[in-house]
Structures are given as C-alpha cells and as structure tokens.
Amino acid sequence: MSILVNRDTRVICQGITGKVGEFHTRGCLDYGTRMVGGVTPGKGGETVAGLPVFDTVAEARDATGANATMIFVPPAFAADAILEAVGAGIELVIAITEGIPVMDMARVMPVVRDSASRLIGPNCPGVITPAECKIGIMPGYIHAPGHVGVMSRSGTLTYEAVWQLTQLGHGQSTCVGLGGDPLVGSSFIDILALFEADPDTHAILMMGEIGGSAEEEAAEYVKHHVTKPVAAFIAGRTAPPGKRMGHAGAIISGGKGTAEAKLAALAEAGIEIAESPADMGAALVRAVERRV
Amino acid sequence: MKIHEYQAKDLLRAAGVPVLAGTVARSPDEAAAAFTTLGTPVCAVKAQIHAGGRGKGKVKGSEQRGVELAKSAADARRIAEGLLGKTLVTIQTGSDGQIVRQVFVESGCAIDRELYCAVLVDRRAGSPVLIASTAGGMDIEEVAAKTPDLILTEPFDADRGLAGWQARLLASKLKLPTASWRHAESFFRALCRAFVDLDASLVEVNPLVLTKDGGLVALDAKMTFDDNALFRHKNVAALRDEAEEEPAEIRAAAAGLSYVKLDGTIGCLVNGAGLAMSTMDLVKLHGGQPANFLDVGGGADVKAVTEAFRIILSDPNVKAILVNIFGGIMRCTTIATALVEASQTVGFTVPLVVRLEGTEVEEGKKILAASGTSIILADGLTDAAKKVVAAARA
C-alpha cells in the first residue's frame, strides 16, 4: 500500500501541449505511470506523447476515467485550471506550477475545502509512490520502494533526503511535495494523517523550512496523533529576517517562522532532528532505532 | 516588492482609506515649500526608506531622528537638510543604515488614541486576515509575544471582502466611541479591499489614529506586494525604487535567478530554494559564513549559470565558491558544461568546490576532469562544506 497514488491511479496532464507539460508527461510515462490523456483548451483532438488531448477536464475525465491530474498551466491561468479540475470532480489535483499569485490561491482554497478533491501544491515537485506511480518532476531513479513516508516543502531538498534514504537501504512508501508557496492545498498535518493510517508506512521523514507555522502545527499533531517514528530537518537556520529565500513562503517576518522556533517545537514533540542536511537519512534511521 | 510610505498613502487614498495631506520632497527647499503649501500649524517630516523603525532611528553621526515635527517652513527645511543624502540607521536597516533620498512632509492631526491594524494572508486559515490592536505605535511583535490578548484577528473572504459586522465587531473590541463606528467600518473595509485588489502581501498601519474629532486616519502606512502578481498591476510595478535595492539582486532577478546577498565569505550556487538554504546552513555548521543565497532554478542554461558566477564574484567578500547541484530534471552534464564555459568566460579568482549528485553525475564529473579547470571535487554534502570552508581560510 501507499498513500495518494498507486499503480491504478489514472492521470491526465493539464497543460500537456506546453513544452514543460509534454516533457514531464513523457517522464511519467517512462516511469510507468498510467498517464491517460491531457487537457489544453482549444487543442482537443490532438495527440501528445501518444495520449489524447481534450479541451476540458470534464471531457478528459469522461473519456479516460482519470482520477488524478498534474497541472503545468502557466501561473496567470493555473488557479483557474485547479478550479476546473475540482469542478470536474478529479479526486487528486497536483499543481506543479510555480509563481501563482497568492490572492488567486486565496480564492481557490475555500472551493477546494468544500469539495471532495485533494489539492497538492502549488509550486511543488509532485507525488511519487516508487515503482508504481510518479506524478511530477522528480527524478524517478533516486527512489526505491519501501516503508518511509517522505514529505517536504522543497523540491531538490526532497531529492537529497530520498537519495540518502535509498543509499541507506530505506525505500519509500510515498513521497509528497507540499509546495513552497504561502498557501498550499495540503499541509504536513493532512499528509501525516494519511501516513499514520497507511499500514505500509513505518516511519516518516519531513523537511520543513523557515516561514509560516506549518512545522509547529505538524509538531503539535505528531505529539497527539502519530505513533510512528518521525524525523525532521528545517532549512534556513542562516536565513536573515525579512528576505524571501527563493520560495514565496520562505520568509521570516515579524519574528515568526524562524528555524529555531520550529526546531524547538519538533524536538519537544519527540521528533528526531537532523542537524545537517547531510544527516536527514541518518536521522530517520535514529528515529526508527529509538523505538526498537 | 516594497514601496515607500508616501507611495503607499497615494494608493490607499485612491482606494478610499483616510490619510493626511502630504507632499514628497527631494530637497530642503521643496520641504519648506511643502510646509507652506500644506498650511497646517505642525507638519511631520519623515525620511522615506524601505525600512521601518524610522521614528526611533538616527542619522549616522548626528542626533537627527528619521521622523521629526516641524512648526515652521524653516523647521521643515532644517530637518530635511539633516536627513537628505544622509545615512539613517534604524532597527531594521542594520548597522550600515540606508541613504535617505526623499522626505515626506505630512500635515499633522489632533490625536486622541493610537491603534494598530494590518492586513496579510493567514496561511493556516488560507485567507486574508485583518489584524487590529489597541496597542498602537508600539512594536507589534513585542505586543503579540507578551500580550496576545491585545491582538484581534478577523479573517475574510477575498471576493466578498470584510463584512460590515466584522468591522463593527473590531470597532467595539477596540473600544472606539460608537460615533466613530461608521468611520471604522469604512476604514477597515476600504483597507481590506485595497489589499485584495492590489495583490498586496502586507498592508500595515501603525499607528492607526483615532482623531479628536472621532475620525480614523492612517498616520503611517507600509505596503509590500506579491511579486508574482505584479504582471497585472503595472501602476504598482512602476513604483519600484531600485535605489533602495541591492544592485546584485536586481541583476540576478533580470537573469531569472533568485539571489540574496549576505555578509559572509563563501559564495553558494545551488539548484532549488530548499537545497540552497540548506547549503548555507551546512556552510555555517562547518564554521564558514555564506556570502549569499542563490537558486539557479531547475531550467538554468549555460548563460544563466555564467551570470550567476559573475554575480557571486562581483561580491568582494567572496573567498571561495561552493557549487551544490542535485541533478533531477537538471542534468549534471548540463551543469558541468556550464561550469567549464563559465570558468573560461568569467575566470575564477577564488577556489571553486563542486559537489554533483543525481542525473548523469559520472558523465558530469568526467566533463569537469577533462576540461582541466581548477576545481575541487567533493563527495557528498559534508565533504563539500569542509573543503569550501578550508579553501576560504587558505
């Protein structure tokens, strides 16, 4: 088992006729993902990477039975693409697009909340269940099937952590990129709940970063609701206040969102802390061994 | 993106938020003329820089504060003289301070009470939120830490805006006289509307003033904007004051790079924001100080990487450079080729430590080895950090 995606997940790509959308659709197909089609308004009837292109998500869903979508639509139109997927009843909506205006997401959030859809992202690498289904832009080969659930606000940092795990002989159940924006569809808490309920996930590794309070909320949740071993790393200990560190969400403002506060909250919840980014995989091993 | 107080007040005035009359001045003469034109008995002369804490901040080498009251045109001229072209140091500027290039001459008002309000996006609620407090004019972070009960919050829907009843609820909790509630309703709703319509990331009014005649007015105003939404606000984008920004950061943005200048000696070039932050942390953990944050992004080409090296090398403090790439979609061969080309066109004057991992890593290392470029290769993160810290000290 795994969370969110598996070998039966049927995936479409919104923005499939764009250069990036097509490139990553091919990457997912190569990995073995069941890609079943794509959507670009006005390009219905075309074929990309051997897949049928539809004008609307509703048509694509009806024709292919898709239950997941990955979105590569440009930032100015991406919020609308998310709303279209939710409106068409797609269960899992994964928004890869970086640079969506925050106010657009503020309009999307209540619609998603009142729907049966789950949104992952935006500004995220996607979701992968190794050897079964890859939806997104992560390099497939660094992953191995196994029992560690991985979740993160950052892309390449996740690759780093996954690579360390794989080299240490710890495969992954599912890896989830939450996204680096201030407003994202799923939080650490949402994914923690799924990992906790998944019998195939035996331990959890999370990578947070400065800004906001999602890590503190996750720590509180772990303390009360998670029985599995958890390890964590927080990026941005050296980041100065008031400066946006690449991600729109990674900013220390008003004395809030510092790495110190997050690390203290995580440690207080009994979470094993990786002191260095070179120590993420090892921290997960320590968290597991502590329980034995 | 940040803007100046006088620019924020222009935007707020246009949005129906009450602000006082004022004029921006770029010379002492202009400041004196502004005082005369405004025609009020007292004016505030306020330094305009992209940093807060001006009222308590001081000009380097003098007792001149960043905000002072003028009771005559001569006063206004003297204060402006003390500020313009001088370096103002506030709690937010760091010890280097910032040069004052313009002052805002603003008419005074009769203050009954000072309050606080701000609008921002609440990540947890997933919506914009209006924050208000009776503790106006003070350091709001300190208020939030010591007396959280004094901080009032009202989340609101971006499309519907703040409801009238929410504004009245706040007015009541702020203990405003009932005669002022209609002013509060109008003020708060206009402020929230402006926040949404302009795609702001922060609007802060500190202090928000209850005047003797029962009105509300924004005595100070700070606005920052969502960079990702500037494409649909040409009027706001035009308010950018590049003189207030780090030149290297402007240059990096033009090349599609995300760069933040820091004070250390080790330049960092990394793909991905989270890994870039972690690389800085790693350098510090091993006793070094990062000179910058630099994320080249996932789709960087030779040209962008070359520009990244130029920007890092333009910082005279840099004693060594650490390149940390985890190839995913970005192939190590692409980065290696770019490194070699950059070294030939830019010319490295400091040691370069390279850590490559991920897609096509072996081929990438071969390209580097074959090029004869003087590069210190590292295996893994810890090795890379140790080597670059040692190189910077040599």
Interface of B with A in 54-73 (CB under 8 A): none
Interface of B with A in 206-235 (CB under 8 A): 226-229, 231-232
Q: Is the pLDDT of residue B138 over 90?
A: no
A160: closest CA of chain B, how far (Å): 7
Q: Is the pLDDT of residue A193 over 80?
A: yes
Cα separation, B25 vs B48, whole angstroms: 10
Quickly state the pLDDT bin for B170 (edges 50, 70, 90).
very high
Q: Where are the domains of chain A?
A: 10-120, 138-291
Cβ–Cβ contact B39 with A under 8 A: no
Asked whether the beta carbons of B76 and B105 are under 8 A apart, the reply is: yes
- Stretch B138-154: mean pLDDT: 78
The reported pLDDT for the residue numbered B270 is: 93
Other residues' Cβ atoms within 10 Å of the Cβ of residue B165: 10
Q: Which one has a higher pLDDT value, A193 or B309?
A: A193
Instruction: Show the tokens assigned to A198.
Output: 């998944």
Asked whether the beta carbons of B53 and B92 are under 8 A apart, the reply is: yes
The reported pLDDT for the residue numbered A209 is: 92
- Stretch B178-195: mean pLDDT: 97
Q: Which one has a higher pLDDT value, B372 or B108?
A: B108
Q: Is the pLDDT of residue B314 over 80?
A: yes
Instruction: Show the tokens assigned to B95.
Output: 């010890």
The reported pLDDT for the residue numbered B341 is: 85
Rounded to two decimals, the ipTM of the complex is 0.90
Cα separation, B176 vs A187, whole angstroms: 38
List % helix, strand, coil for chain A (3-state, nearest 5): 35, 25, 40
B10-B12-B18-B23 Cα dihedral, nearest 10 degrees: -10
The answer to whether the Cβ–Cβ distance between A160 and B282 falls below 8 Å is: no
The reported pLDDT for the residue numbered B373 is: 78
Per CB-CB distance under 8 Å, the chain B contacts of A101 are: 199, 226, 228-229, 232
Cα separation, B394 vs A87, whole angstroms: 61
Cα separation, B270 vs B323, whole angstroms: 6
Cα separation, B188 vs B56, whole angstroms: 27
The reported pLDDT for the residue numbered B52 is: 85
The reported pLDDT for the residue numbered B293 is: 94
Specify the CATH superfamily of domain B248-393: Succinyl-CoA synthetase domains (3.40.50.261)
Look up the CATH architecture of domain A10-120: 3-Layer(aba) Sandwich (3.40)
Cα separation, B233 vs B243, whole angstroms: 21
Distance of CA A50 to the CA centre of its chain: 27
Same fold, A10-120 and A138-291: yes
- Stretch B3-23: mean pLDDT: 97
| CATH number belonging to the domain at A138-291, selected among 3.40.50.261, 3.40.50.1580, 3.40.250.10, 3.30.1370.60 | 3.40.50.261
Quickly state the pLDDT bin for B245 (edges 50, 70, 90).
confident
The reported pLDDT for the residue numbered A142 is: 92
Note the pLDDT tens digit of each residue in A162-180: 999 999 999 999 999 999 9
- Stretch B220-233: mean pLDDT: 95
Per CB-CB distance under 8 Å, the chain B contacts of A156 are: 270-272, 274-275, 326, 328
Element holding B383 (H helix, E strand): helix B380-393
Q: Is the pLDDT of residue A253 over 80?
A: no
A74: closest CA of chain B, how far (Å): 12
- Stretch B188-215: mean pLDDT: 96
Instruction: Show the tokens assigned to A275.
Output: 């002191």
The answer to whether the Cβ–Cβ distance between B258 and A154 falls below 8 Å is: no
Q: What residue type is B96 in one-letter code?
A: D
The dihedral built from the CA positions of residue B219, B234, A21 and B298, taken in this order, carries a sign that is: negative
The reported pLDDT for the residue numbered B135 is: 84
- Stretch B145-149: mean pLDDT: 76
Angle at B66 between CA B291 and CA B206, to 5 degrees: 90
Q: Which residue of B has its CA nearest to A241?
A: B92
Say which of A24, A143, A170, A247 is annotated catalytic.
Answer: A247
Longest dimension (CA), chain A: 58
Note the pLDDT tens digit of each residue in B336-363: 888 888 888 878 889 999 999 887 888 9
List beta partners, residue B205. B117
The reported pLDDT for the residue numbered A225 is: 97
Q: Is the pLDDT of residue B202 over 90?
A: yes
Angle at A152 between CA B259 and CA A32, to 5 degrees: 110
The reported pLDDT for the residue numbered A11 is: 98
Task: Classify domain B21-107 at the CATH topology level.
Answer: Dna Ligase; domain 1 (3.30.1490)
Q: Is the pLDDT of residue A220 over 90?
A: yes
The reported pLDDT for the residue numbered A249 is: 76
The reported pLDDT for the residue numbered A215 is: 93
Q: Which residue of A has its CA nearest to B199?
A: A103
Element holding B189 (H helix, E strand): helix B181-197
Asked whether the beta carbons of A233 and A161 are under 8 A apart, the reply is: yes
Note the pLDDT tens digit of each residue in A124-147: 999 999 999 999 999 999 999 999
Distance of CA A113 to the CA centre of its chain: 17
In this structure, are strands B103-107 and B22-25 parallel, antiparallel, or unpaired?
Answer: antiparallel
- Stretch B147-168: mean pLDDT: 92
Per CB-CB distance under 8 Å, the chain B contacts of A104 are: 229
Quickly state the pLDDT bin for A250 (edges 50, 70, 90).
confident
Quickly state the pLDDT bin for B218 (edges 50, 70, 90).
very high
Q: Is the pLDDT of residue A244 over 90?
A: no
Quickly state the pLDDT bin for B142 (edges 50, 70, 90).
confident
- Stretch B169-194: mean pLDDT: 97
The reported pLDDT for the residue numbered A208 is: 94
Q: Where are the domains of chain B?
A: 21-107, 111-237, 248-393
Per CB-CB distance under 8 Å, the chain B contacts of A102 are: 121, 199, 201, 226, 228-229
Note the pLDDT tens digit of each residue in B35-88: 999 999 999 999 999 988 898 899 998 999 999 999 999 999 999 999 999 999
| CATH number belonging to the domain at B111-237, selected among 3.20.20.150, 3.40.50.1820, 3.30.470.20, 3.90.79.10 | 3.30.470.20
Quickly state the pLDDT bin for A107 (edges 50, 70, 90).
very high
Distances (CA, A) of A211 to A17, A191, A221, A252, B308: 35, 19, 18, 5, 25
Per CB-CB distance under 8 Å, the chain B contacts of A242 are: 92
Note the pLDDT tens digit of each residue in A39-79: 999 999 999 999 999 999 999 999 999 999 999 999 999 99
Instruction: Show the tokens assigned to A54.
Output: 């539809």
List beta partners, residue B261. B292
The answer to whether the Cβ–Cβ distance between B126 and A278 falls below 8 Å is: no
Cβ–Cβ contact B155 with A under 8 A: no
The reported pLDDT for the residue numbered B285 is: 94
Q: Is the pLDDT of residue A255 over 80?
A: no
Residues of B classed as catalytic = 116, 204
The reported pLDDT for the residue numbered B347 is: 80
Q: Is the pLDDT of residue B137 over 80?
A: no
